[in-house]
Amino acid sequence: MRHWSAVFTLVGGLLVVGLSPAVAQQPAPAAAPSPASSARIAYIDVQRVLARSSAGVAAREQLEREKSVMQKEMDGKRVELEKLRDELEKKGPLMTADARREKQETFERKRRDAARMMDDFQKELEKKEQTLLQRVLGELSGVIEKVGKDKGFYMIVEKRGASVLYASPDADLTDDIIRAYDTQAPAKKTP
């Protein structure tokens, strides 16, 4: 079981996982430093990069513009439905049964169409968000690799998805990645 302590010990004993307390408390045998003990490991917060980098901000602004256009169209449909409903409530009792039924069917059809349109808009926004996110993340991977090599890191992990149990602020490369990314691709205009 002792050989597992070296496998599960990360960066000079900062994190010991999966060992019994007795084994975890035993001093490590004196040996030559392993490559992992001198390796530098860092993390980045991709969500923060997306929120603060110029490309991430531009992507978010594009999505907001598209959402605004869709919202205006939905507001127009809502106003149209309210007018039809008001007309049914006020003039319905004065209409013939056939005219009232036809008006009610028109209202229901337009309500269903508006609900479908809202659903389609939501799916379209999600698809565009995924596309923009994938593009930014694709560009970002090259920047992360370059910064990692330039700074001599052995490994860079994503803070939220990698189950980081402890991270020193000194190991946070997020701001470096944002600066490098913004320098490499200054405020690209998204179509």
**How big is the chain by its Cα radius of gyration, in Å?**
29
Q: Would you give the DSSP letter of residue 11? A: T
Which of 44, 9, 47, 52 lies closest to 171 in space, CA to CA? 44
**pLDDT for residue 83:** 92
What are the residue boundaries of the structural domains of the chain, listed by start? 40-184
pLDDT classification of 30: cutoffs 50, 70, 90: very low
* pTM for the whole structure: 0.59
Q: Are 103 and 84 in contact (CB under 8 A)?
A: yes
Task: Quick: pLDDT tens for 142-180.
Answer: 888 888 888 888 888 888 876 565 567 778 888 988 999
Number of Cβ within 10 Å of residue 34's Cβ equals: 11
pLDDT tens sequence across 43-58: 889 889 888 999 889 9
